[in-house]
């Protein structure tokens, strides 16, 4: 889910960055009255995100273009699938092409990477969630892409929840004191999460009434101990060291959530092209 008003503002910035003063190649070679018909297609299997955003980029630059989006965000497609058909003034199509491809390749890359992790933990009670380690300026859309891949969003920003980490605890003098300070002025629908890397901290967080406990880089045996100790009194998030090879074992400890920055920070762009229809 993303806000279309904010996205339009981003599109203007993207187009301005790529075009500069003008598309010199198009201006020199393509006549204003010439038209074209092209299709955006998947060149490898992928989970999609950003289809409507890509279409909006074309129409923002050239409103006379005719576009047909053939798929939806969250769809899984195979290589060769047609994603968008675009027809109309060739100058507009060719100038906006790279900007549209850049964003849809990036977002679909995140959705595809998310879907890979989600598939590995299928059948467990754990849900995959993202982090705030996103590309500056693209957080809203990158978190939308995570949702398209089957993941859940953690905090959208610092104002979305209270996350008490080691440095907060150090300043406040302990977990109990930190949670107490936050609870006094906490908005009624907002949750408190406490980061713990040892069992004594887990016990303190439960005693303080934390809503969510993050197990930060805990070994598997300690995670199991923490899950047994908490026994449903708080939600448990596992974080740190999350990889293809480790996530299944972490999910099987009984944690509620597994967070990783790899689905946003390290997701490779997928291969999508624009070819003549």
Closest by alpha carbon to 118, among 78, 160, 76? 76
CATH number of the domain enclosing 29? 3.90.1170.20
247 and 132 within one domain: yes
Q: List all residues 6 or more positions away from 75 whose beta carbon is below 8 Å from its beta carbon.
A: 47, 48
Domain that holds residue 135: 123-265
130 and 90 within one domain: no
247 and 232 within one domain: yes
Cα dihedral 116/249/153/81 (nearest 10):
10
247 and 147 within one domain: yes
144 and 195 within one domain: yes
111 and 15 within one domain: yes
Mean pLDDT (the chain) is: 97
pLDDT tier, 101 (very low <50, low <70, confident <90, very high otherwise): very high
202 and 91 within one domain: no
Average pLDDT estimate for 28-36 = 96
Tens digit of pLDDT for each residue in 198-223?
A: 999 999 999 999 999 999 999 999 99
143 and 34 within one domain: no
Which residue numbers are catalytic? Answer: 98, 133, 165, 195, 216
Phi and psi torsions of 22, nearest 5°: -170, 165
110 and 42 within one domain: yes
Q: 69 vs 55, 56, 272, CA distance in Å?
A: 7, 11, 14
CATH number of the domain enclosing 131? 3.20.20.70
Average pLDDT estimate for 42-68 = 98
CB atoms < 10 A from the CB of 42, how many? 21
129 and 94 within one domain: no
248 and 142 within one domain: yes
101 and 169 within one domain: no
Split into its structural domains, the chain has a count of 2
Tens digit of pLDDT for each residue in 102-149?
A: 999 999 999 999 999 999 999 999 999 999 999 999 999 999 999 999
CB atoms < 10 A from the CB of 175, how many? 24
User: pTM for this structure?
Assistant: 0.95
**Percentage of the chain exceeding pLDDT 90:** 98
Tens digit of pLDDT for each residue in 52-62?
A: 999 999 999 99
């Amino acid at each position: 889910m993303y806000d279309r008003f904010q996205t339009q503002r981003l599109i203007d910035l993207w187009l301005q960055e790529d075009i500069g003063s003008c598309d010199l190649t198009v201006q020199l070679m393509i006549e204003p009255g010439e038209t074209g018909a092209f299709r955006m297609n998947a060149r490898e299997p992928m989970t999609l995100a950003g289809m409507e955003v890509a279409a909006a980029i074309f129409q923002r630059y050239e409103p006379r273009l005719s576009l047909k989006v053939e798929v939806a965000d969250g769809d899984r497609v195979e290589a060769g699938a047609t994603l968008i058909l675009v027809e109309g003034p060739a100058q507009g199509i060719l100038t906006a092409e790279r900007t549209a491809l850049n964003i849809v390749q990036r977002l679909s890359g995140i959705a595809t990477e998310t879907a890979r992790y989600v598939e590995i933990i299928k059948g467990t009670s754990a849900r995959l969630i993202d982090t705030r380690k996103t590309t500056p300026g693209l957080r809203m859309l990158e978190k939308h892409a995570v949702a398209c891949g089957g993941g859940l969003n953690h905090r959208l920003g610092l104002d979305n929840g209270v996350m008490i980490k080691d440095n907060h605890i150090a300043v406040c003098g302990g977990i109990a004191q930190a949670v107490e300070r936050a609870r006094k002025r906490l908005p009624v629908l907002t949750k408190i999460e406490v980061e713990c890397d040892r069992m004594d901290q887990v016990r303190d967080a439960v005693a303080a009434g934390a809503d969510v406990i993050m197990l930060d880089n805990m070994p598997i045996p300690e995670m199991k101990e923490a899950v047994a100790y908490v026994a449903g009194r708080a939600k448990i998030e596992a974080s740190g060291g999350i990889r293809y090879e480790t996530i299944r074992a972490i999910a099987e400890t009984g944690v509620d959530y597994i967070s990783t920055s790899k689905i946003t920070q390290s997701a490779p762009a997928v291969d999508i092209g624009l070819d003549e229809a």
